[in-house]
């Protein structure tokens, strides 16, 4: 199984593919599936701002579209000291992985560990 530092490194490396001409704020994510596979994602922006998609959701949707349904951990990296998923990503991640662990990282490889339940208490679910 992949270790935390390696997962974060994949998120850091993924950032290089971010499409962020408007914010100039590249974000990378690396989602670990229960079977050990990893899907990366980057933020993909659009001139119509509301159409932009975050790195976390890109990684999750790639994994889901490949048939994956169980996830254990996601690493996220941006230029902040600890890259926190936005509210929309928290809700989407919670629906697919309510026990998800989150590594909020930076480009130097430091990270803060948390969980989706801590980031989104009393999440909406059906």
User: In the complex with Zn ion, which residue's Cβ is closer, 66 or 86?
Assistant: 86
Residues of this chain that interact with Zn ion (CB under 5 A) are: 54, 86, 89
Shortest Å, Cβ 1 to Zn ion? 26
User: In the complex with Zn ion, which residue's Cβ is closer, 48 or 67?
Assistant: 48
Write down the catalytic residue from 16, 56, 70, 101: 56
Task: Determine contact, residues 100/116, Cβ cutoff 8 Å.
Answer: yes
Task: Determine contact, residues 43/29, Cβ cutoff 8 Å.
Answer: no
Which residue in the shown chain puts its C-beta closest to Zn ion? 54
Shortest Å, Cβ 90 to Zn ion? 8
> Is-catalytic flag, 56?
yes
Shortest Å, Cβ 88 to Zn ion? 5
User: In the complex with Zn ion, which residue's Cβ is closer, 3 or 24?
Assistant: 24
DSSP annotation string for 45-65: --SSGGG-B-HHHHHHHHHHH
Q: Cα–Cα distances in Å, from 122 out to 72, 88, 90, 119, 125?
A: 20, 14, 12, 10, 9
Any idea which residues carry the catalytic annotation?
56
């Amino acid at each position: 199984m992949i270790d935390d530092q390696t997962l974060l490194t994949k998120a850091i490396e993924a950032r290089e593919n971010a499409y962020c001409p408007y914010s100039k704020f590249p974000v990378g994510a690396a989602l670990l599936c229960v079977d050990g596979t990893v899907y990366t994602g980057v933020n993909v922006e659009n001139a119509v701002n509301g159409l932009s998609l975050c790195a976390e959701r890109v990684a999750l949707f790639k994994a889901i579209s490949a048939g994956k349904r169980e996830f254990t951990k996601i690493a996220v990296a941006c230029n902040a000291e600890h890259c926190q998923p936005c509210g929309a990503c928290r809700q989407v991640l919670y629906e697919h992985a309510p026990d998800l662990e989150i590594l909020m990282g930076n480009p130097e490889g430091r990270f803060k560990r948390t969980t989706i339940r801590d980031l989104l208490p009393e999440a909406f679910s059906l």
